């Protein structure tokens, strides 16, 4: 191949049209209806051809069209309005400055393996990426000083197409970053900024791309450079491809390289948010940098880093938590252990549930938990599941007290809202609704929207969805080489007026896409009712190596080809943000059928209520919190309807779906008033809007992260780094001292509880003798753990009450307190001790040190009395 000189050509627009480039290069346009309308107006055909990519459209504009736009006064007026809106948005006062002005100037690093911002930036695979994209958008709306970090995938995730048998096939088209809403970060000399990440025997160079998301930048690392080997250029080629060796190298690039990129750009984060465990290596790099640049020892640096990291876990499915063999971790992190001054076994122990078990693999989720002050699941139920899932990290802590909280996910409402409904909100809720999406009083105004107006708007969106699906199916048929008759039939599927159900998500088997298909005869009767027809639109991708997931898709396609389902069930290929947007805006019912409790959150269902649709879902993920009996439908009764036999579970829940459709959903949809409006249906539509929209949005979510995690972490940063990290050093010394002394801390005895029943409303006195092994009283928290007993005699979901230090004796300190008797029944209590450090950012179980009272003989306090026997007090 001959030598090639490379150069870049960028769109060249005359002065009046230059603001188009400014708008196109800021992803703010993706959630501004006027901006989208403007960019599409440039050339509608090119817009559709380039999947809504404004940079590609502007680069492909013929000279005559540029000349037309330059002379079009109406277009120029539209352009000026949008440009002014963007400037106003960037300069307007924001929530973060108003609420936390003292923290302005601080910086939050948000690290994620994928970001889903728009279909023209295919750097995502599914829900994790969409959530990350919506997080960035709301961070911009709220004015958070947040910087995103990810990888620039040359091929991204695959494009899906189906062969004649309905089997999923994959294509990996190449992304052209120079023709996307991205730009290379350059130094003052105009050269691309690069960073270096070291792997065994070589250094890998990555350049940095910027994606501007409103007020906030997203930086993406790209190793596809001629300076790198072919193997290393592949690092940022595909998302979720290759084996463990590729994955650990990608995660080193994201965590270690991503942090270095921010440092190189002069954007050192004060705190870091790890969106899933993929970026957990950044914790080690943060410690390393503090040791190198600030001269801190490992223990002190560890305290600073842990106190300023936030970690969100997204999956209750074990396979979704990356694990690597010890040999692989040693291969890539042996040198890092040396830099940190850690024995390799100690570093490996940071990623093991039991650090001492050398047979255990290295888990990125465990590493993230150990290196983060705050950790959370993404719904209330997922918080419960995560605490049970990772209990071995804190083996002495009751499940309900495992320090993993929850912040329920949300959606960036404006990114998913159809223009028809947006105009209704503007008219009846007022313009403040998109500035204050968490304001419940504004959403209460949906009752003011006339039923007929709401219904007609939603009907238009269903018609738009049907038209979109027909076009996609026609193109699918042409791509497969189908004959004219089949292509023609594809343009006639679905009924724009029929009750439309949508099911679209990743085709993992636990999501049970085929649950509604379990009884084809009964389903056919429901779908083909001449007076009350129903139709189902499926979409979604299976992982390329997930054969059972691909089988589900093939099963659906085969069923859709049967005569009784041909016009009632369709599968839309290549599920992406565009397909999702049409679906959530146009369906009447969003179907969600995961095997409980494996759905962490399920944000796709949150996108439907703002558009007037409703959910029909298993009580899993967010729907446990969102369902209020009159705002949608629940399949089963949650935990009450969980069975060990999965086949029986499927049978129960599929029957429930059919029953709900036949007895409630279909009748409500088709029962019309004299003006052909389904009044009962629109009533539930409004309930769905009112109850879901204010709560399940990313503005609420990001505000919650800010108040509960970001602000405390930023305060920790200030507290621990002041006085040349003096308090961090003191905390590290304290942790080491406590760890050394703790094995000698004993709860020697706890006095007997009285035999007689305690009247409700009184308090039971408790006394315990604790040997502190030389630790000061104020460095040990002694408390009772009490609650109802299960049939085996163990405390269930206990509460705690602190005990106060009293008499100091030769054999320990007497601690006393009371337990409130607020509930009747069989109760129990015990006593435990945990370390504490007043004035420092510590969770009570952060050290992992807990001492429980243990009396195998069942005899308490035989040697000495601790005072008067416990009794009930008013």
pLDDT in tens, 60-72: 999 999 999 999 9
Closest C-alpha among 133, 445, 476, 119 to residue 275: 133
Confidence band (pLDDT; 50, 70, 90) for 866?
A: low
pLDDT tens readout for residues 511-538: 999 999 999 999 999 999 999 999 999 9
Select the more confidently predicted residue: 842 or 784.
Answer: 784
Write b or e for each residue in 181-209: b if 16 or more Cβ atoms lie within 10 A of its Cβ, otherwise e. Answer: bbebbeeeeeeebbbebebeeeebbbbbb
In the 8-state DSSP scheme, what is residue 257? I
User: Other C-beta atoms within 10 Å of 693: how many?
Assistant: 25
Cis peptide before 597 (omega within 30 of 0): yes
Report d(CA 494, CA 511) in Å as an integer. 25
Quick one: pLDDT band at residue 753, thresholds 50, 70, 90?
Answer: confident
Phi, psi of 634 (to 5 degrees): -110, 135
Helix (H, G, I), strand (E, B) or coil at 747: strand
Query: If pLDDT is split at 50, 70 and 90, which confidence band does 814 have?
Result: very high
Distance CA 123, CA 117 (A): 8
Residue 388 has pLDDT above 90, yes or no: yes
Mean local confidence (pLDDT), 12-18: 92
Which residues face 195 on adjacent strands? Answer: 206
Mean pLDDT is lowest, of 253-267, 354-368, 641-655, for 641-655
- What is the DSSP track for 354-408? STT-TTSPEEHHHHHHHT-SEEEESSHHHHHHHHHHTGGGSTTS-GGGSS-EE--
* Percent of the residues in the chain that have a pLDDT greater than 90, as a whole number: 85
Q: What is the longest distance spanned by two Cα atoms in the chain?
A: 100
> Among 73-77, 691-695, 841-845, where is mean pLDDT lowest?
841-845
Residue-wise pLDDT for 422-469, tens only, equals 999 999 999 888 888 999 999 999 999 999 999 999 999 999 999 999
Do 393 and 366 touch, CB atoms closer than 8 A? Answer: yes
Alpha carbons 468 and 306: distance in angstroms, whole number: 49
Tell me how far apart the alpha carbons of residues 207 and 457 are, in angstroms, rounded to a whole number.
47
DSSP state of 124: -
Beta carbons within 8 Å of 38's beta carbon, 6+ residues apart: 23, 78, 79, 82
Using a pLDDT cut of 70, give the percent of the chain over it.
Answer: 97
Task: Indicate if the alpha-carbon torsion angle 465, 467, 470, 476 is positive or negative.
Answer: negative
Single out the residue of 728, 735, 770 nearest to residue 749, CA to CA. 770
> Do residues 652 and 636 make contact, with C-beta atoms less than 8 angstroms apart?
yes
Q: Give the tens place of pLDDT for each residue, 204-235.
A: 999 999 999 999 999 999 999 999 999 999 99
Average pLDDT, the chain: 93
Structure token digits, residue 738: 């406590």
Structure confidence at residue 1 (pLDDT): 59
SS3 state at 835? strand
Statement: residue 320 has pLDDT above 90: no
280, 367 Cβ separation under 8 angstroms: yes
* The two structure tokens encoding residue 145: 């000083």
Give the number of other CB atoms < 10 A from CB of residue 345: 14
pLDDT the model gives residue 864: 43
Q: Please state the rounded mean pLDDT for residues 821-829.
A: 90
Q: 103-112, pLDDT tens digit by residue?
A: 989 999 999 9
Residue with tokens 């993230």: 368
Q: Report pLDDT digits (tens) over 275-317.
A: 999 999 999 999 999 999 999 999 999 999 999 999 999 999 8
Q: Let me know: does 789 contact 795? Beta carbons within 8 Å.
A: yes
Q: How far is it, in rounded angstroms, from Cα 543 to Cα 761? A: 57
Q: Is the distance from CB of 596 to CB of 642 less than 8 angstroms? A: yes
Q: What's the pLDDT at 863?
A: 41
Q: What is the pLDDT of residue 855?
A: 61
- pLDDT for 513 equals 94
Position 543 confidence tier, pLDDT thresholds 50, 70, 90: very high
Distance of alpha carbon 454 from alpha carbon 439, whole angstroms: 21
d(CA 769, CA 746): 9
Mean pLDDT of 737-748: 95
How far apart CA 269 and CA 710 sit, in angstroms, is: 12
pLDDT at 7: 66
């Amino acid at each position: 191949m001959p030598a090639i000189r490379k150069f870049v050509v960028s769109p060249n627009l005359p002065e009046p049209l230059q603001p188009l480039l400014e708008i196109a290069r800021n992803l703010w346009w993706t959630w501004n209806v006027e901006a989208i309308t403007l960019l599409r107006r440039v050339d509608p055909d090119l817009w559709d051809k380039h999947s809504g990519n404004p940079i590609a459209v502007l680069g492909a504009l013929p000279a005559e069209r540029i000349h037309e736009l330059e002379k079009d006064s109406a277009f120029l007026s539209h352009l000026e309005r949008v440009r002014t809106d963007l400037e106003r948005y960037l300069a307007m006062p924001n929530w973060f400055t108003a609420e936390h002005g003292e923290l302005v100037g601080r910086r939050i690093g948000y690290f994620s393996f994928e970001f889903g911002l728009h279909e023209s930036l295919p750097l995502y695979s599914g829900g994790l990426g969409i959530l990350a994209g919506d997080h960035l958008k709301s961070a911009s709306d709220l004015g958070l000083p947040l910087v995103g970090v990810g990888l620039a995938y040359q091929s991204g995730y695959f494009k899906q197409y189906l062969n004649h048998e309905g089997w999923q096939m994959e294509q990996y088209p190449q992304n052209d970053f120079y023709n996307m809403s991205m730009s290379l970060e350059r130094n003052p000399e105009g050269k691309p900024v690069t960073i270096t990440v070291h792997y065994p025997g070589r250094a890998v160079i990555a350049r940095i791309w910027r994606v501007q998301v409103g007020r906030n930048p997203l930086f993406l690392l790209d190793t596809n450079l001629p300076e790198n080997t072919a193997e290393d250029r592949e690092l940022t080629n595909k998302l979720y491809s290759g084996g463990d060796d590729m994955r650990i190298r990608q995660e080193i690039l994201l965590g270690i390289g991503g942090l270095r990129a921010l440092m190189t750009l002069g954007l050192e984060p004060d705190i870091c948010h790890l969106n899933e465990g993929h970026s957990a290596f950044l914790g080690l790099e943060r410690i390393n940098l503090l040791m190198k640049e600030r001269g801190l020892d490992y223990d002190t640096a560890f305290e600073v880093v842990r106190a300023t990291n936030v970690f969100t876990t997204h999956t209750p499915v074990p396979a979704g938590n990356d694990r690597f063999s010890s040999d692989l971790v040693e291969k890539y992190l042996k040198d890092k252990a040396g830099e940190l001054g850690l024995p390799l076994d100690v570093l490996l122990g940071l990623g093991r549930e039991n650090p001492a078990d050398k047979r255990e693999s290295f888990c990125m989720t465990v590493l993230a938990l150990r290196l983060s002050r705050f950790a959370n699941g993404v719904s209330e139920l997922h918080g419960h599941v995560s605490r049970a899932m990772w209990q071995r990290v804190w083996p002495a802590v009751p499940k309900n007290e495992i320090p993993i909280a929850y912040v329920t996910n949300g959606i960036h409402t404006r990114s998913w809202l159809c223009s028809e409904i947006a105009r209704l909100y503007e008219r009846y809720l007022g313009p403040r609704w998109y500035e204050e999406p968490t304001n419940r009083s504004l959403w209460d105004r949906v009752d003011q929207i006339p039923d007929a107006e709401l219904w007609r708007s939603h009907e238009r969106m269903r018609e738009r969805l049907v038209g979109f699906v027909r076009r996609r199916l026609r193109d699918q048929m042409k791509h497969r080489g189908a004959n004219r008759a089949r292509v023609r039939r594809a343009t006639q599927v679905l009924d724009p007026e029929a009750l439309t159900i949508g099911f679209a998500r990743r085709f993992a088997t636990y999501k049970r896409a085929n649950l509604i298909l379990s009884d084809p005869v009964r389903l056919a009767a429901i779908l083909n009712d001449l007076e009350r027809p129903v139709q189902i639109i499926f979409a979604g991708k299976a992982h390329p190596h997930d054969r059972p997931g691909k089988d589900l898709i093939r099963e659906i396609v085969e069923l859709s080809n049967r005569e009784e389902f041909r016009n009632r069930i369709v599968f839309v290929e290549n599920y992406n943000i565009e397909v999702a947007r049409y679906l959530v805006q146009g369906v009447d019912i969003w179907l969600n059928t995961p095997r409980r409790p494996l759905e962490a959150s399920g944000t796709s269902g949150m996108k439907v209520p703002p558009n007037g649709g409703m959910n029909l879902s298993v009580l899993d993920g967010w729907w446990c919190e969102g369902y209020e009996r009159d705002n949608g439908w629940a399949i089963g009764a949650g935990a009450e309807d969980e069975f060990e036999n999965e086949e029986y579970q499927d049978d129960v829940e599929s029957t429930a779906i059919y029953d709900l459709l036949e007895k409630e959903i279909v009748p409500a949809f088709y029962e019309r008033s004299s003006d052909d409006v389904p009044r009962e249906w629109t009533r539930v539509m409004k309930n769905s809007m009112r109850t879901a929209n204010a709560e399940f949005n990313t503005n609420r979510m990001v505000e919650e992260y800010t108040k509960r995690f970001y602000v405390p972490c930023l305060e920790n940063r200030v507290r621990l780094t002041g006085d040349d990290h003096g308090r961090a050093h003191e905390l590290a010394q304290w942790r080491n001292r406590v760890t050394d002394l703790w094995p000698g801390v004993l709860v020697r005895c706890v006095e007997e509880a009285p035999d007689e029943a305690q009247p409700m409303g009184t308090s039971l006195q408790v006394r315990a003798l604790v040997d502190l092994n030389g630790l000061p009283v104020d460095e040990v928290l002694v408390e009772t753990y009490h609650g109802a007993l299960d049939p085996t005699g163990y405390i269930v979901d206990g509460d705690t009450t602190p005990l106060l230090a009293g008499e100091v004796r030769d054999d320990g300190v007497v601690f006393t307190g009371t337990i409130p008797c607020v509930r009747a029944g069989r109760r129990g209590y015990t006593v435990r001790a945990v370390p504490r450090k007043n004035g420092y950012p510590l969770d009570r179980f952060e050290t992992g040190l807990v001492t429980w009272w243990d009396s195998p003989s069942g005899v308490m306090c035989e040697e000495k009395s601790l005072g008067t026997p416990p009794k009930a007090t008013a």
